[in-house]
């Protein structure tokens, strides 16, 4: 049951395979920033979140524990966070996870 394929058939199959792979890889990105429907909110107990002192609500940040915190600092006005103003934003620090717009962490830096 040995079937010889022509070079044309092999190339056509390769082109089809590359096209299919590209279609599968291109997940929907409604905001154009890497946010996909499969992303989940970041848990404050996630080890990466704990490492940077992430809080889902900046109003709950203890300024004695986090002296760099200033009232008014939130993920919404941080350079690391992207997306339309809403409840959840994409953050450069947490790949595949979303942060609360009203959140805060000690990596906060003002948007220009």
In a domain, 71, yes or no: yes
Mean pLDDT over all residues of the chain? 82
In a domain, 50, yes or no: yes
In a domain, 5, yes or no: no
In a domain, 11, yes or no: no
In a domain, 76, yes or no: yes
In a domain, 45, yes or no: yes
In a domain, 53, yes or no: yes
Q: 78: helix, coil or strand?
A: strand
- What are the start-end ranges of the E strands in the chain? 40-41, 81-82, 88-91, 97-100
Number of domains within the chain: 1
Q: Which domain holds residue 93?
A: 30-100
CATH number (domain holding residue 41): 4.10.490.10
Regarding pTM above 0.85, the answer is no
pLDDT tens digit sequence for 30-63: 455 555 556 889 999 999 999 999 999 999 999 9
pLDDT score, position 12: 75
In a domain, 107, yes or no: no
CB 33 within 8 A of CB 82: yes
């Amino acid at each position: 049951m040995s079937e010889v394929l022509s070079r044309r058939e092999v190339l056509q199959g390769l082109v089809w395979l590359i096209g299919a792979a590209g279609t599968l890889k291109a997940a929907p990105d409604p905001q154009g920033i890497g946010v996909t429907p499969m992303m989940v909110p970041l848990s404050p107990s996630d080890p990466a979140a704990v490492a940077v002192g992430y809080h889902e609500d900046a109003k709950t940040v203890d300024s004695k524990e986090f002296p760099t915190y200033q009232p008014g600092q939130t993920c919404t006005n941080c350079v690391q966070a992207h997306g339309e103003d809403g409840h959840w934003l994409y953050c450069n620090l947490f790949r595949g996870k979303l942060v609360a717009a009203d959140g805060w962490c000690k990596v906060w830096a003002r948007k220009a």
